[in-house]
Amino acid sequence: MNNIPLTIKETQEGLKSKKFSAVELVDSYLAQIKKHNDEYNIFLTVTEELAYEKAKEIDQLGDFSNPLSGVVTSYKDIFLTKDVRTTAGSKILDSYIPQYSGTVVKKIEQAGGIMIGKLNCDAFAHGASGENSDYGATLNPWNREYVTGGSSSGSAASVAANMSLISLGSDTGGSTRQPANFCNLVGLKPTYGAISRYGVIAMSSSLDTVGSLAHTVDDIEIMYDVLKGEDGLDGNVLNARRYTLNPRPKLGIAKEYFIDGLDSEVENMILDVKKTYEKMGIEVVEISLPHTKYMVPVYYIIQPAEVSSNLGRFDGIRYGNDRNSFGEEAKRRIMLGSYVLSAGYYDAYYEKAMKVRTKIIGDFDEAFKTVDAIISPISPTPPFKLGENTKDPLKMYLEDLYTTSANIAGIPSLALPSTFSKSGLPIGFQLMGPRFSEHQLIELGKKYHQEIDYKPKTAF
Amino acid sequence: MLYKTIIGLEIHIEPNTNSKMFCSCPQNHFGAKPNSQTCPICLGLPGALPIANKEAINKTIKLGLALGSDISKISKFYRKHYFYPDLPKSFQTSQKDNPFCIGGELMGKKINHIHLEEDAGKLIHQDGNSLIDFNRSGCALIEMVTEPVFHNVEEVISFTKELQLIARYLDISNADMEKGTMRLEANISLSTDHGLQSTAKLPDYKVELKNINSFKFLEKALIAEIERQTIALDNSEKLVQETRGYDENTKTTFSQRTKADSHDYRYFVEPDLAEIKLENSKFEILNSKLPELPEQKRKRFAEQYKISSDYINILVSDFDRANYFEVAVKLDPSLTKSIADLMINKQFDKKYAAASLVRKLKEITNVEYSSQSDLEEAIREVLYESPDIVTSYKNGKGQVIGFLIGQVQKKLGGKGNPNMVNLKLTEELTNKNF
Amino acid sequence: MAKLTKKEVQHIADLSNLTLTDEEIAKFTPQLDKIIEFIATLSEVDTTNVEPTSQTTGLTNVLREDEIKVDNMLTPETDYYKVPSILQNRS
C-alpha cells in the first residue's frame, strides 16, 4: 500500500470499497514501524500477531460500520492490556504482564479498533519532553534532534510517523496536548470524569484523564464518542447530557498569557488564530484568569502528592522490580509528594494548594460566563532540542504553564495544529471550554481547520 | 501503690455485607482458599479504582444510631499511608475528619467515633517466610474508638460483650472474636492521678494490646498487662509507648517491636471516592426505626414475663433463643415458666421447634394428670413438711429425692406427671433457699 | 526559607520507602530546595474562607449495590504471595 489514509473516514471508505484490506493496512503500518522504530524509539512493544488476528477478523466480517472498524490504534504504555506487556515507561514494570485490560482498551476493541502496539512514554507519565523514559527518549519524527514532547511521547510520534492512525495517551498536566502540539496532531484532553480511568496506571488521581491523538478533529470526535461514558468501575465518570452548542460562540484570550517567557513565534501564532476566528465572524475578547501564575506551583504540589501515593504500591513484592528501579524524576516527585503531605507541612502546601485550586476553578467559572471557549498557547516555546531542559527540573516544570490549568479545573481542552516554526517544527494552540463542552470545542476546531484549509500531514 | 487504670478501646467489626468495601468480591472469607476471592481492586493492582459499598455504610450508620451517635451530614474517605506487605496499595482507604458517626455511648461509656474502612490482607508466618492471603484485603471494616474511660477489666469485658450482642441484634455482623469478625485493641496506661474529673491528666504513654482473639484471652491479657505496668511503676521504671501481644504460655504480654510513635500517615481525601452526603433519600436507614436492642428487650421481658433476671439475661444474650421463647410463650402463656426452665436447664430449644415443645409440655401437664397448680402446691407442702430431708438433699444426699417424689405423689393421689414432678421438685430444691 | 537538611531528606526518603545513596541525597537536596521555594509562592494567595477542592466532578454519593460479581475476579496466580519474613509488625 502506498498511501496510508490519514483519517478514519478514508480508511473505512477504502475498506468498504475494497481498495485495501485491514490486513494490508496492518502490513503498511508494520512496515513503517520496522523501518523507523529503532531510530525514533516510539514503540516499546509491537503486537504484530494480535494486530493480524484482529485485522483478519474484521476483513472476514466485511462490515465496517463499527465506529472504529479497521482503525489501527496504539496505546501509551500506561494503558493496561491483558496479556500484553505494560511498562509505564519504567524499569519497575519492565516485564509486567497485566491480568486485565482497561475500559478504554476494551471499548476500542469492541468498536473495531486494531491494536498495533504499546508506546514509549516518560516513566510513569512524569515529564514534558519524553526524555524521562527509562527506555530512552523518543525522537520527534519531524526532526530527530528535537523532543516529541511528553509524557505521551510515543503516542504523538506514532501517529506523526504514520505508524498508527490514532493513539491513546494520558493528560495529567498537558501530557497529550503538548506532544500533539510538538508533532502536528489534534489532541484532546477530555473533561475529568468524561472517560473512565479504570485500567490506566494512575499517576495523579484528581488530575489524570485519557487523552486521544489523531490527524483531524473529526477523528478525535469519533474517538471521544466511543470512549466516553460510565462503566461502573470509575466512580468519577458521569454520563453528561450532550452540550448545547452556542450558534454564536464567543472566544477569550487571557491577558495573563502574555508573559516574558512566551516565545514570539508562539505569540504571533496566537494572534493569527485570533484573526482567523474574527474573519469567521467569531468575536475574540480579552479575559482575565488572575491566578494563572499559580498554576504550576499548585500543580507541582497536588500532582507529586497524589503520585507519591499512587506509586507506593510498586514495591516489587508481587510483581515488578523493587523501588530502586525508579528513575530520577519518579524519585524526585515521590519525595516531593511525601514532603508536601507530611505532618507539619500538609497545611502550608497540600491544603493550601487545594484551596488555591478552588480559586482557579472560580477563575474559569467566571470567565465562562462571558466566553464559550478560551484560546491559549500550549507550550511557551516551539519544540525544543533534546537535552535542552534536562539539567534543570524546574525549567522543565515551567513547560506546563499553559497546560496544567485545564487539569486543575477539570475542564476539557482541544489541541489544534496551526503552523510551523522557522526551524520547521509544528506550533499549535489549545481551546479550553467548560466541563463537558467537548462538542463545542470540536465545532470550533473544525471551523478553524476549515478556514486555514488544514490538511493532515505526517512526518514520513 | 494503687494506680488508676485507664483503658480506651478500638474495636473492629467486620460487617456481614455480601461484597467487600470497594469491590464486588465476597466479603465472607472464612475458610476460603487463599487468594481465591480477589480482583484488581482489592489486590491494589495498577489501574484499579474503588467504588463504595452502600450497605457497608448503612450498617455503620445503623450502629451509630443504636449507640446514640451523631451521624455526620457529610462524610469522606481518606488515604492512610504506610508500607506493609499485606497492604497492597501501600495505603489504607479509611476515614479521618468527618467519620460517619461521631460520639455515642454504651453502658455509660463514651464513644469517640465510629468510622468505616477497608481491611488489609492476612500474613501467615511459615519457615522464615511470610505468606500473604489477600482474601481479607479490601473487606469492609467498621471501627469504633472509645474514650479512655474504662477503669477495670470487668467493664471492658461487659462492654465488649454488649457491643457484640448489639451487632447481632442489628444484624450488622456476627461479631465473633474467634472467627475474627470482631477484633479488639486496648490502650492501657496507669495513672497516679485519681481525680474523677474528665480533665484529670492522662499519662504520657499508652500501651496498645493487640491480636487478642477471645474474651478469655482478653481478660487474661488485660490483667497481665496491668500487673506488668504496676510492677514497673512501683520500681520507678519508665513505661514506653508500644504495642504488645499476649502469650498464653507465659501468661504475660510481650513487646511487638513497632515504631509506634513515628507514623506519619500523610492523610489526604481520597480523590477517587466522591464525598458521601448523608441524606434520608439515599440512606433509608436514617428514616427507619431501629430493631429492639438487648437492653430494651431485657426491660420488656422483665415487665412482660415473670421469670428471673438470670433467665432473662441468658435468653436475651442470644437473639434466636429470645425469639424462640416468645413464640413458644405466645402459644400457651400459662406455660411460661416451664418453657423457660426446659430451655435453660435442658436445652430443649436445641431439640424441638417451639410449637413442638409447647405441645410436649401440654401433654405433660394436661392428659389425666394433676393440674400444674395442684402439683406445685403439693410440692410446696411436702418441702415445707420435710425440712430435714431437704437439708440432707442440700448436703449432697441426692438420693433422698426419691422419698420426696413419693410424698408428692401421695398428696396428688398418684396423679402427678412423673416428669413434671421430678422437674419441678429439682427446681424448687436448687432454687429456693431452705 | 530554611534549606533542607540531609536528615530531613533522609526522613522524606524513609516516608517514601525509597533507599537513596549519599550521591542521590546530595543531588536531590538542592533540586528539592529549589522546587519547594518555587511552590511556596502559593503563600501569596489569600485563601481565607476558601474550601479545598479534592476533585472537580462535584459528584456525591457514588455508591455500589452490595452484590458479589464474579466477572471482575481474578483466578489466583498462586496460593500465597511470599515475602521474606517480616520482623517488624504493622501499626
DSSP per-residue letters across A265-287: HHHHHHHHHHHHHHHTT--EEEE
C-alpha cell at A107: 471499548
Confidence tier at C89 by pLDDT (50, 70, 90): very low
Mutate to test the interface with A, among C42, C44, C85 (most CBs of A within 10 A): C42
Kindly state the average pLDDT of the residues A273-284.
Answer: 98
| Dihedral sign for Cα atoms in the order A354, A355, A356, A357 | positive
Write the single-letter amino acid at A83. D
Question: What pLDDT shows up at residue B432?
Answer: 64
Structural domain B368-434, CATH architecture: Orthogonal Bundle (1.10)
SS3 B122: strand
Report pLDDT digits (tens) over B98-130. Answer: 999 999 999 999 999 999 999 999 988 888 888
Q: Looking at the DSSP assignment, which residues form a beta bridge with residue C60? A: B275
Question: What pLDDT shows up at residue B353?
Answer: 85
Kindly state the average pLDDT of the residues C12-19.
Answer: 94
Position with higher pLDDT, A405 vs B126: A405
Confidence tier at B280 by pLDDT (50, 70, 90): confident
Burial of A264 per CB tally in 10 Å (0-12, 13-18, 19+): exposed
Closest C-alpha to B253, from B287, B303, B297, B219: B219
Report pLDDT digits (tens) over A322-359. Answer: 999 999 889 999 999 999 999 989 999 999 999 999 99
User: Is the Cβ–Cβ distance between B71 and B64 less than 8 Å?
Assistant: yes
Other chains touching C, judged by 3 or more CB pairs under 8 Å? A, B
Kindly state the average pLDDT of the residues A176-198.
Answer: 98
With a CB cutoff of 8 Å and minimum separation 6, the contacts of A301 are: A340, A349, A350, A352, A353, C39, C42
Query: How close C42 gets to chain A, by Cα (Å)?
Result: 7
Report pLDDT digits (tens) over B205-260. Answer: 889 998 888 898 999 999 999 999 999 999 988 888 888 989 888 888 988 866 44
Domain A8-292+354-451 has CATH 3.40.1050.10: no
User: Phi/psi zone of residue B294: left (φ > 0), alpha (ψ -120 to 50 degrees), beta?
Assistant: alpha
Question: What pLDDT shows up at residue B262?
Answer: 60
Question: What pLDDT shows up at residue C22?
Answer: 92
**Residue showing cell 456481614:** B16
Distance CA B335, CA B354 (A): 12
Total number of domains in chain C: 1
Question: What pLDDT shows up at residue C85?
Answer: 62
Between residues 290 and 329 of chain A, which touch chain C (CB distance below 8 Å)?
A: 291, 294, 296-298, 300-301, 308, 312, 315, 317-318, 323-324, 326
Is the N-terminal amide bond of B386 cis, ω within 30° of 0?
no
Catalytic status, residue A151? yes
The DSSP line for B403-425 is HHHHHHHHHTTT-S-HHHHHHHH
Number of continuous H segments (helices) and E segments (strands) in chain B: 13, 18
Distance CA A181, CA A188 (A): 11
Let me know if residue C22 belongs to a domain: yes
Question: What pLDDT shows up at residue B198?
Answer: 58
Confidence tier at B390 by pLDDT (50, 70, 90): confident
Question: What pLDDT shows up at residue B260?
Answer: 45
How many CB atoms are located within 10 Å of the residue C67 CB?
Answer: 11
Query: How close A237 gets to chain B, by Cα (Å)?
Result: 10
| B192 DSSP assignment | S
Across A178-182, B199-203, B314-318, B408-412, least confident range: B199-203
Position with higher pLDDT, B430 vs B39: B39
Write the single-letter amino acid at B123. L
pLDDT of B367 > 60? The answer is no
Distance CA A177, CA A186 (A): 8
Closest C-alpha to A296, from A394, A228, A366: A394
Closest C-alpha to A159, from A131, A136, A184: A184
Percent of chain A with pLDDT over 70: 99
Distance CA B112, CA B280 (A): 24
C-alpha cell at A227: 470512549
By CA distance, what is A87's nearest residue in B? B46
Out of C18, C39, C59, name the one closest to residue A349 (CB).
Answer: C39
By CA distance, what is B59's nearest residue in C? C66
pLDDT of A65 > 70? The answer is yes
Kindly state the average pLDDT of the residues A192-199.
Answer: 98
Taking all residues of chain B, what is their mean pLDDT, rounded to a whole number?
A: 90
User: Which chain C residues are Cβ-neighbours of A233 within 8 angstroms?
Assistant: 72
Kindly state the average pLDDT of the residues A9-23.
Answer: 96
User: Phi/psi zone of residue B28: left (φ > 0), alpha (ψ -120 to 50 degrees), beta?
Assistant: beta
Asked if the interface predicted TM-score (ipTM) of this complex is over 0.90, the answer is yes
Burial of A229 per CB tally in 10 Å (0-12, 13-18, 19+): middle
Confidence tier at A143 by pLDDT (50, 70, 90): very high
Query: pTM of the prediction?
Result: 0.89
Distance CA B361, CA A121 (A): 81
C-alpha cell at A217: 478533529
Kindly state the average pLDDT of the residues A130-153.
Answer: 95
pLDDT of C88 > 60? The answer is no
Domain positions in chain B: 4-286, 292-367, 368-434
Contact A193 C57 (CB under 8 A): yes
Kindly state the average pLDDT of the residues A120-143.
Answer: 94
Question: What pLDDT shows up at residue B257?
Answer: 63
